[in-house]
């Protein structure tokens, strides 16, 4: 009889502690995780020249730093050649690149030998044709894109915003 009673007390105590620990575990395991912002997947951007105008069809583009970006550039002109050049800098850098392109010639895509400030470019594209370029979006900031075919800059330009 005496041992049975001890067993009952033990079982009662054990059961009580199990319930307590279960409750403690429950509260301890409250909401965790969540995690940071999802990284952006690759982006494909279609852009063109605006008919016979010295202009792009889009003057603003957006990307996320580190994102894989594909630019599909369509020349919608019948008569003029165009390219698409993403500049690592603002107006002054764009002007330097455009000036260097004047004498570079079509075979060099109207880009000078020093392309350290060129993030990416679509080669000189004939009317009605489409060319593409893949690149990794640079650090957050604002970048100009231009056409360096002689006489087209500063008319042909736009801004890519990277965040
Ligand atoms: Cu052009």
Ligand 1 centroid to residue 151 C-alpha, Å: 8
pLDDT of residue 40: 82
CA–CA separation, 28 and 23 (whole Å): 9
For residue 92, being part of any structural domain is answered with yes
Residue 54 CB contacts under 8 Å (≥ 6 apart), including other chains: 80, 147, 151, 152, 155, 156
For residue 21, being part of any structural domain is answered with no
Ligand 1 centroid to residue 43 C-alpha, Å: 24
pLDDT of residue 89: 87
For residue 58, being part of any structural domain is answered with yes
For residue 22, being part of any structural domain is answered with no
- Residues of the chain short of pLDDT 50, as ranges, are 1-5, 7-38
Ligand 1 centroid to residue 28 C-alpha, Å: 63
CA–CA separation, 114 and 103 (whole Å): 13
Ligand 1 centroid to residue 34 C-alpha, Å: 47
For residue 38, being part of any structural domain is answered with no
What CATH number corresponds to the domain at position 66?
2.60.40.420
For residue 138, being part of any structural domain is answered with yes
Residue 97 CB contacts under 8 Å (≥ 6 apart), including other chains: 85, 87, 111, 112, 117, 118, 146, 148
pLDDT of residue 39: 63
Ligand 1 centroid to residue 96 C-alpha, Å: 16
- 107-115 long-range contacts (CB < 8 A, ≥24 apart) are 109/83, 109/148, 110/83, 110/148, 110/149, 110/150, 111/85, 111/148
pLDDT of residue 148: 98
At residue 73, the 3 state secondary structure works out as strand
For tokens 């583009």, what's the residue? Answer: 61
Ligand 1 centroid to residue 101 C-alpha, Å: 12
- Maximum CA extent, the chain: 109
Strand partners, 160: 61, 143
Phi and psi at residue 54, to the nearest 5°? -85, 75
Q: From the CB of residue 156, how many other CB atoms can be counted at a distance below 10 Å?
A: 25
pLDDT of residue 61: 98
Ligand 1 centroid to residue 152 C-alpha, Å: 5
Indicate yes or no: pTM above 0.85: no
Residue 141 domain boundaries: 44-162
For residue 140, being part of any structural domain is answered with yes
Ligand 1 centroid to residue 93 C-alpha, Å: 18
Ligand 1 centroid to residue 156 C-alpha, Å: 6
pLDDT of residue 14: 41
Residue 98 CB contacts under 8 Å (≥ 6 apart), including other chains: 146, 148, 153, 154
Ligand 1 centroid to residue 125 C-alpha, Å: 9
Ligand 1 centroid to residue 140 C-alpha, Å: 26
- What is the total count of domains within the chain? 1
């Amino acid at each position: 009889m005496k041992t049975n009673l001890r067993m009952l007390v033990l079982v009662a105590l054990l059961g009580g502690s199990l319930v307590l620990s279960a409750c403690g575990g429950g509260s301890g395991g409250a909401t965790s995780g969540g995690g940071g912002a999802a990284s952006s997947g690759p982006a494909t951007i279609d852009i063109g020249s605006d008919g016979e105008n010295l202009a792009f069809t889009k003057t603003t583009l957006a990307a996320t730093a580190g994102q894989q970006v594909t630019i599909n550039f369509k020349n919608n002109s019948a008569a003029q050649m165009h390219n698409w050049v993403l500049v690592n800098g603002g107006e002054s850098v764009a002007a330097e690149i455009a000036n260097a392109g004047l004498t570079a010639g079509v075979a060099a895509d109207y880009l000078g030998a020093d392309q350290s400030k060129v993030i990416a470019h679509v080669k000189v594209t004939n009317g009605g044709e489409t060319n593409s370029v893949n690149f990794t979006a640079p650090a957050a900031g604002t970048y100009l894109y231009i056409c360096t075919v002689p006489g087209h800059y500063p008319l042909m330009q736009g801004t890519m915003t990277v965040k």
